[in-house]
Structure 1
Amino acid sequence: MVNDELCKAYGIQRSVTAAYHPQTNRLAAKTNRTLKTRLAKLCNTKMSDCPGYLEEVAYSMRTQTQKSTGFTPYHLMFGRRHRPIDQDDMELEVE
């Protein structure tokens, strides 16, 4: 299979986990736990507000340097550092 050859060529170790069972995937379980914890801190007791904070929490997780790689998930995905939020806001105001 092409996928197997690509993984072998790039030294990627693949693992298979059961669908809808994040306990079998340590990394997915940790990510879900982090997401829940951060949302809970922002939402306090009003859980209906949580969807409104999802983008901010996801952004913070994507732009935080990971100990395992030394890079942010954003940098690994796009090959460059993310722009700080205030730069994005400033550009919108200049237009």
Structure 2
Amino acid sequence: MYIGVTSNLPGRLAQHRAGAIPGSTERYGVHRLVRVEACDAMERAILREKQLKNWRRQGKINLVERENPAWVDLAVGLGLPPLDRSVGRHGC
């Protein structure tokens, strides 16, 4: 599960899906957007990112499932094409 901050969500998603950013998202095939939080300032977004990264995996899963229990790819609503349905639920 990947947590990150960006000021251009559709652009960052396209980069991740294309494998253009080396690291864990490329290595583990993390391509689905299952949760988004908007912040009014980048500093606040970075603090929230750090907070969530310190959570255990189950806490992050619970957070997603409270708002998106079916783990629907929210990127489609931002204009990105749907992904292959063979991608696993928690392998987002």
Q: What is the TM-score normalised by the length of structure 1?
A: 0.25
Q: Relative contact order, CA 8 A, sep 6+: which one is greater?
A: 2
Higher normalized helix content (fraction of residues): 1
Greater Rg, structure 1 or structure 2?
Answer: 1
Q: What is the TM-score normalised by the length of structure 2?
A: 0.25
